[in-house]
């Protein structure tokens, strides 16, 4: 018997190697830190209230730069979902098994905040299979069952730069009575396979062929908008017994509105206080401002993500009592306050974040992560109708200001009739404005001292307002110093303050007063000093295009920057020559710079740049060369040198 077993083992030999690194095609190795060998996702819709996602992922990590992203994995879950299994293995370059993942190596941890600003049931299972030597291959299998069918998983096997793909598949099986809704993004020809109906089930399939690694190009949209994907959503769904439809934005908004219905009741004393405001502040905007000030002074933000609480607001009465809430609860509470003050308002869902993509309007689905408030003000006499948007989670955001966090995008307005996509405030160049005045005292040895006063408005002040309210003096100084594109300098003083608001509708602003010591600012050349008077107004240079550009051009937000530099010449020096004035006009903006000798002996340099953004979110790749030429001309003008010469006297 023993002899037979030994003979069998000798004949069977060692296990066949899997996923050898040498088998990867050279084209898939080029510019790649990792190669997705396989990404096979199976989505099974069991019912209107349950969906199961199964994933088989195999990634070969080619170098250390790919290890952190692909040598480890975190799978999230919460009270409405569970992880049925998580298995893994890692192989060496030759495809031999190095290690089989053990149960003790799967770590389970919560995703709450140490600062106490989150109340959440969100957790994750985490595994780390990173290896000291590359290349190596990580194979992972996991399954997640969810009882929250508002969300179906999206499929995008290749979503980062410097990662190539050998192949991937997606299969979705759903009861025919629960039809699948999907939106395909940039799929190659032949990727979609015709659905198959078997009994009362319909199966949809997609497959992606091999694809080389992509590298991000300057001023391009995010890569996840440029790589193939399939976005999935249900036609009907259910969350903890609350059924809804995603047939339209109207139906999604109706479901969300109904979740919060009846949760806007305030304590009687607070209702009476709000009613009194109608007498004290007859002007609707002034009254709304007082309500907002009350909100900011008496509440704080805490994110609540507990089961249905991720979508259903807490009652307004609990916010009034406890003084805290998440974005939904605080918006609902403010809505209740405004209603009691005779100002009907509506909550709205939005995708928040400066880099958050706008809603895919053609595909109704839950694409939002935040709630805000919309207050329509009716026309009064000669005053036209107005709409005020309120960010209810911040104790410092200016009344009626959305900024880069939620401005310039669409939100889903929640009304009794259902949802409606509407635009949040649009901020153009005048609302993204920076005005800087610099007094520069130059010494004969080329050193200088400067006082810089900068007034930032609208989008230009967003980050500085955050620094003003949330950062200490040292953090403020570090942030400002890191953005001064100067070779040698010392910040001698820094002060940030809120700018006075000229009118009730004016944009918020931040004033920055900065003192600088600038050794070696000007270059001595015999009797001359060479100086670039454009001290702080430079635009970052853009790289030249190497080879044909692949990505569309996504221009930055429109902006307006105005710089005035008053140069106080050292004793015994005069201007030998002035650079010529420059005027540049293009579809992308307008640039002007000029020099003026003033009667008091000082020299004034004035620079103004308005960057424009077309209505279209992106421009064709071929436009980049023309745009780059415009930016280079600005760079040349910005670097113009002034020559001072020492007089004989």
Of the candidates 429, 327, 315, 325, the residue with the CA atom closest to the CA atom of residue 372: 327
pLDDT of 4 over the 60 cut: no
What phi-psi label fits residue 190: left (phi over 0), alpha (psi between -120 and 50 degrees) or beta?
left
* pLDDT for position 604: 96
Q: Three-state SS across 148-205?
A: ECCCCCCECCCCCCCEEECCEEEEEEEECCCCEEEEEECCCCCCEEEEEEECCEEEEE
- Is the distance from CB of 581 to CB of 595 less than 8 angstroms? yes
- Which of 3-17, 175-189, 230-244, 592-606 is least confident? 3-17
pLDDT of 162 over the 80 cut: yes
**Which domains does the chain possess?**
21-236 (2.60.40.3140), 249-423 (3.10.620.30), 436-646 (2.60.120.1130)
Give the ranges where 101-159 is alpha helix by DSSP (H).
Answer: none
Sequence-distant (6+) residues with CB within 8 A of 150 are 234, 237, 239, 244, 246, 311, 366
Mean pLDDT taken over the chain: 92
* pLDDT tens column, 471-498: 999 999 999 999 998 989 999 999 999 9
- Is the distance from CB of 439 to CB of 568 less than 8 angstroms? yes
* Half-sphere CA count of 478, side-chain side, radius 13 A: 5
Q: 28-65 b/e with 16+ CB inside 10 Å = b?
A: bbeebbbbbbbbbbbbbbbebbebbbbbbbbbbbbeee
* pLDDT tens column, 500-528: 887 777 899 999 999 999 999 999 999 99
- Is the distance from CB of 252 to CB of 304 less than 8 angstroms? no
* pLDDT for position 97: 97
* pLDDT tens column, 248-271: 999 999 999 999 999 999 999 999
Query: Is the sign of the CA dihedral 60, 64, 66, 67 positive or negative?
Result: positive
Query: Is the sign of the CA dihedral 360, 361, 366, 369 positive or negative?
Result: positive
- Is the distance from CB of 208 to CB of 191 less than 8 angstroms? yes
Quick one: pLDDT band at residue 116, thresholds 50, 70, 90?
very low
- Is the distance from CB of 611 to CB of 558 less than 8 angstroms? yes
- Interatomic CA distance for residues 197 and 645, integer angstroms: 86
* pLDDT for position 494: 97
3-state secondary structure of 603: strand
H or E element, residue 331? helix 327-340
Q: What's the average model confidence in pLDDT over 552-573?
A: 94
* pLDDT for position 601: 87
* pLDDT for position 504: 72
* pLDDT for position 3: 45
Quick one: pLDDT band at residue 115, thresholds 50, 70, 90?
very low
Q: Three-state SS across 190-239?
A: CCEEEEEEECCEEEEEEEECCECCCCCCCCCCCHHHCCCEEEEEECEEEE
- Is the distance from CB of 390 to CB of 372 less than 8 angstroms? yes
* pLDDT for position 112: 61
- Interatomic CA distance for residues 447 and 458, integer angstroms: 34
Q: What's the average model confidence in pLDDT over 580-595?
A: 96
* pLDDT for position 581: 95
């Amino acid at each position: 018997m023993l002899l037979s077993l030994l003979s069998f083992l000798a004949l069977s030999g060692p296990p066949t190697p899997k996923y050898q690194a040498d088998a990867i095609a050279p084209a898939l190795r080029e510019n790649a830190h990792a190669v997705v060998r396989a990404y096979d996702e199976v989505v099974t819709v069991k019912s209107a209230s349950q969906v199961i996602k199964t994933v088989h992922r195999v990634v070969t990590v080619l170098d250390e730069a790919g290890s952190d992203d692909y040598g480890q994995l975190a799978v999230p879950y919460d009270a409405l979902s569970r992880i049925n299994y998580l298995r893994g293995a890692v192989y060496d370059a030759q495809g031999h098994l190095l290690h089989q993942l053990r149960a003790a190596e799967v770590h389970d941890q919560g995703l709450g905040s140490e600062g106490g600003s989150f109340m959440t049931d969100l957790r994750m299972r985490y595994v780390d299979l990173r290896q000291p030597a590359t290349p190596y291959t990580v194979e992972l299998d996991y399954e997640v069952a969810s009882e929250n069918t508002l969300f179906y998983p999206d499929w995008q096997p290749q979503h980062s730069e410097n990662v190539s793909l050998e192949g991937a598949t997606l299969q979705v099986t759903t009861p025919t009575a629960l039809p699948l809704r999907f939106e395909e993004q940039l799929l190659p020809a032949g990727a979609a396979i015709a659905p198959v109906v078997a009994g009362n089930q319909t199966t949809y399939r997609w497959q992606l062929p091999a694809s080389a690694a992509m590298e991000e190009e300057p001023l391009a949209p995010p890569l996840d908008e440029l790589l193939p994907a399939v976005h999935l959503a249900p036609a009907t769904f259910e969350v903890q017994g609350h059924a809804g439809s995603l047939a339209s934005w109207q139906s999604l908004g109706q479901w969300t509105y109904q979740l919060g219905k009846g949760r806007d009741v305030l304590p009687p004393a607070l209702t009476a206080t709000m009613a009194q405001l109608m007498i004290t502040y007859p002007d609707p905007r002034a009254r709304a401002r007082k309500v907002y000030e009350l909100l900011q002074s008496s509440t704080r933000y805490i994110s609540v993500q507990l089961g249905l609480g991720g979508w259903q607001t807490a009652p307004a009465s609990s916010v009034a009592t406890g003084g805290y809430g998440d974005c939904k609860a605080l918006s609902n509470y403010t809505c209740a306050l405004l209603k009691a003050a005779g100002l009907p308002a509506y909550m709205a869902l939005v995708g928040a974040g400066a880099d958050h993509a706008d809603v895919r309007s053609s595909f109704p689905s839950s694409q939002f992560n935040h709630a805000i408030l919309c207050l329509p003000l009716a026309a009064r006499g000669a005053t036209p109708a107005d709409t005020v948007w309120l960010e209810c989670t911040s104790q410092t955001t200016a009344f009626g200001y959305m900024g880069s966090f939620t401005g310039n995008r669409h939100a889903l307005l929640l009304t009794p009739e259902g949802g409606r996509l509407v635009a949040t405030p649009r901020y153009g160049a005048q609302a993204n404005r920076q005005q800087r005045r610099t007094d520069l005292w130059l010494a004969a040895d080329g050193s200088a001292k400067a006082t810089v006063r900068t007034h930032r408005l609208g989008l230009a002040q967003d980050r500085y307002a955050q620094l003003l309210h949330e950062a200490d003096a040292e953090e403020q100084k570090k942030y400002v110093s890191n953005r001064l594109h100067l070779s040698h300098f010392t910040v001698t003083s820094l002060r940030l303050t809120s700018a006075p608001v000229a009118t009730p509708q004016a944009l918020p602003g931040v004033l920055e007063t900065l003192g600088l010591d600038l050794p070696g600012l000007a270059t001595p050349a015999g009797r001359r000093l060479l100086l670039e008077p454009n001290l702080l107004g430079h635009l970052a240079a853009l790289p030249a295009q190497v080879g044909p550009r692949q990505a569309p051009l996504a221009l930055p937000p429109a902006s307006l920057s105005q710089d005035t530099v008053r140069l106080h010449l050292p004793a015994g020096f005069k201007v030998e020559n002035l650079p010529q004035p420059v005027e540049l006009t293009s579809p992308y903006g307008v640039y002007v710079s000029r020099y003026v000798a003033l009667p008091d002996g000082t020299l004034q340099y004035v620079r103004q740049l308005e960057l424009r953004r077309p209505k279209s979110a992106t421009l064709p790749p071929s436009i980049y060369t023309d745009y780059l030429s415009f930016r280079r001309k600005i760079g040349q003008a910005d670097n113009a040198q002034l020559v001072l010469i020492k007089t004989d006297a």
